[in-house]
Structure 1
Amino acid sequence: MLRRSFLAGGMAAASACARPLPEPETTRAVAPALPPAPLPMPARYGAVLGEPYPVPAVPDGVVPPHLWRQEVTNPFPDHPEGAIIVDPDAASLHLVIPNRRAMRYGVSVGAAGFSWAGQAVVQFRRSWPRWKVPDEMIVRQPDLAPYSVANGGMDPGPGNPLGARALYLFQDGRDTLYRIHGGCEPEYLGKAVSSGCIRLLDQDAIDLGERVAHHAPVTVLKSLKPGAVAALY
């Protein structure tokens, strides 16, 4: 009895001296990660001064870097200097410049059913052009009738879809009714949303308009995406 009592008392003492098990840690609240700061736009996309109408700065974080205007190695070496090549699937326009280089611009292209492909030339260049809505567009959108060719079109300015500059594309001496122009809202750059024309940011349309020559050859590559229309070659 004494031995059993001693052992029991020793075990109790040992239990009393043992270090207590740690309490389970309370889960700490983790602050949500802050969204990354918008990627600042290069200075060339700031507000343009000296124009007859305002050209506001492009907001930060809206246009991805691969659509920024930049000089690159010419990916179209078979085209002559001064040529314009538009790749609708890459949402890019290249202007061939000397020394095997090209200026690349991000563009917005025609939505499904309105895209086009073909060979043309720059017949005219216009600063702050009037927008004369083609009759076939008025058939689709009767509310544009006040801006028809017969009615003289829409006055230039910030609300004009052609923006600050327009290049008028002709094929075999005839107006294709397609344009390369400014007025693209930054959030739509790189997307297929227009009624067929090639749209740039106004800053890029101004830059391109200063570089391109009269009668410069233009090639719009045929889209390989589903829904593309027949080429105009």
Structure 2
Amino acid sequence: MRLSSLTLVLFAVTALAGCTFKGVPDPQVSTRDVDWMAQVPTAQEEPRNGRYLLDDPTGEKPGTIVVDTKERFLYYVLPGKKVIRYGVAVGDEAYGWTGTSRIARKAEWPDWNPPPEMKVRWPHVRFTKGGPENPLGARALYLYEGNKDTLYRIHGTNEPEKIGLAVSSGCIRMRNIDVVDLYNRADVNATVIVR
């Protein structure tokens, strides 16, 4: 290794040593969750998409969810100027959205009934009962603006390899274990800000 390469490696190691990333333990899950999540294909997890406790970069009040669509992170704001950061998949360029909404309801292993406009784009999509084959995964948080369903969700996925990408039809996808963690923390009526 040449001296300049060694210098770059030492600089990178020193810079990373100053990061304050602290992993967050997995939530407790039911036997059904364990069984069904085991049936979802696994993917090589990128360390940047892990679940970490960090200093709050959002400035929002505790209990708020902030989605950074450019960086592809979801932040759950905690007291004490801390957040839990999760890696997410977001809407691709044609289907992405931004705005403020609220969680109107939450569901475990929800059924999925694709909206009519999605059925027009992809005629092969169909109603799917909750379970390992379902694209909504282990949990779903339903986003409303006022009393109107936006048709967007924060949900698990049966395609964990796509976390960190812009690939959805506007929904925010999370690893199943991460959406269970968020589901357990977030209240109905919590504010969700998508930037």
TM over 0.5: yes
Q: Distance in 1 between matches of 2:153 and 2:147?
A: 15
CA distance in 1, matches of 2:26, 2:47: 12
| Other structure's SS at 1:204 match | helix
| Mapped contact 1:49–1:55 kept (Cα < 8 A) | no
Aligned to 2:13: none
The superposition leaves residues 27-63 of structure 1 with CA deviations (integer Å, 9 ceiling, x where unpaired) of xxxxxxxxxxxxxxx89579x6522552128857x22
Which of the numbers 104, 108, 125 marks the counterpart of 1:127?
A: 108
Is 1:143 the counterpart of 2:97? The answer is: no
SS of the aligned residue for 1:207 comes to: helix
- Supply the distance in 2 between the matched residues of 1:71 and 1:203 (Cα, whole angstroms): 16
SS at match of 2:132: coil
- Establish whether residue 182 from structure 1 lines up as the match of residue 156 from structure 2: yes
Q: Are 2:67 and 1:95 aligned? A: no
Letter in 2 for 1:92: F
Is the 2:133–2:158 Cα contact (8 Å) retained in structure 1? no
Rg (Cα) greater in structure: 1
Matched, 1:74 2:48: no
Q: Partner of 1:54: helix, strand, or coil?
A: helix
How far did residue 111 of structure 1 move?
1.1
Equivalent position SS for 2:124: helix
Q: Secondary structure at the match of 1:160?
A: coil
Runs of 5+ consecutive residues of structure 2 not aligned to the other structure:
1-22
Q: Quick one: which of 45, 50, 68 aligns to 1:63?
A: 45
CA contact (8 A) 2:24 2:53 kept: no
Residue in structure 2 matched with residue 204 of structure 1 by the alignment? 178
Unmatched segments (≥5 aa) in structure 1: 1-41, 148-153, 222-233
Q: Residue 111 of structure 1 aligns with which residue? A: 92
Deviation at 1:174, TM superposition (A): 0.1
Partner SS for 2:117: helix
**TM-score of the superposition, structure 2-length normalised?**
0.81
In structure 2, how many angstroms separate the alpha carbons of the residues matched to 1:75 and 1:199?
A: 21
Once the two structures are superposed, residues 76-130 of structure 1 have per-residue CA deviations (whole angstroms, 9 ceiling, x without a partner) of 12x1110000001111000001111011000001112011101100000100001
Query: What RMSD, in angstroms, separates the aligned Cα atoms of the two structures?
Result: 2.3
* Structure 2 counterpart of 1:215: 189
Q: Please say if residues 99 and 194 of structure 2, whose CA atoms lie closer than 8 Å, have aligned partners that are also in contact.
A: yes
Tell me, in whole angstroms, the C-alpha distance in 1 between the residues paired with 2:91 and 2:70: 11
Say if 1:100 and 1:161 are closer, same or farther in 2 by CA, change over 3 A: same
How far has the Cα of 1:188 moved from its partner? Answer: 1.0
Runs of 4+ with deviation above 4 angstroms: 42-46, 57-60
